[in-house]
Amino acid sequence: MMFSKGLIDRLNIQGNLEISSLCKDYIFDKHTVHPYNDNGVRERDLLERIHIDIWGPAPVQSSEGALYFMLIMDRYSSYCQVTFPSSKSAEATLKVFRNYHVETKYHTGRKLQNMHLDIRKEWLNSV
C-alpha cells in the first residue's frame, strides 16, 4: 500500500492498518466490463444489418398507456428508432417492423440485408 511504503506525504497513521479481507463493493468496482462476443465484422453500409429488441411488459404503463417498447437500430449508423407496440404479439411487432422497413427503403434507397434479434421459438411459430 502507498501509505505503508512512505509514498504519501503528510499522512500521519497511527495504529494497525492491516486489511484482513476485501469487501464485495471493492471487488466489483475493480471489475472491468468486457464487450459481448462479437465476430469483429463491422458493417460497411446502411441497412447492412439492424438489431431489433423488444422489451416489456413494464411494471407501470406510460402516460400513453404503453407497456412495451421496440428498439430498431442500424448497426452501421447507430440510428435508433423506438416505438411502442400495443403488445409483444407477432402482429403488433411485424406491423412496426414493416413500417420501419418501408420507411428506411424510401429514405435511403437501400434494402435491408440482415437482422439480429433476440427471439423466442413461440414467436417464430406464430408468424
Tens-place pLDDT, residues 69-126: 999 999 999 899 999 998 888 899 899 999 999 999 999 999 999 988 765 555 455 4
Instruction: Please tell me the total count of domains within the chain.
Output: 1
Long-range contacts of 101-110, Cβ-Cβ distance < 8 Å, separation of 24 or more: 104/46, 104/47, 104/74, 108/46, 108/47, 110/45, 110/46, 110/47
Mean pLDDT highest for which of 29-43, 61-75, 106-120? 61-75
- The DSSP bridge partners found for residue 53 are 71
Q: Is 123 helix (H, G, I), strand (E, B) or coil?
A: helix
Give domain status of residue 58, yes or no: yes
Please check whether residue 52 is in contact with residue 71, taking contact to mean a CB–CB distance below 8 angstroms: yes
Cis peptide before 57 (omega within 30 of 0): yes
Q: Name the residue among 45, 28, 94, 84 with its Cα closest to residue 61.
A: 84
The residue ranking higher by pLDDT, 48 or 9, is: 48
C-alpha angle 48-51-54 in degrees, rounded to nearest 5:
155
Give domain status of residue 97, yes or no: yes
CATH number at residue 66: 3.30.420.10
Give domain status of residue 39, yes or no: no
Give domain status of residue 102, yes or no: yes
Give domain status of residue 32, yes or no: no
How confident is the model at residue 97, as a pLDDT? 92
Domain that holds residue 89: 50-126
For the segment 16-39, the average pLDDT, to the nearest whole number, is 61
How confident is the model at residue 90, as a pLDDT? 87
Give domain status of residue 82, yes or no: yes
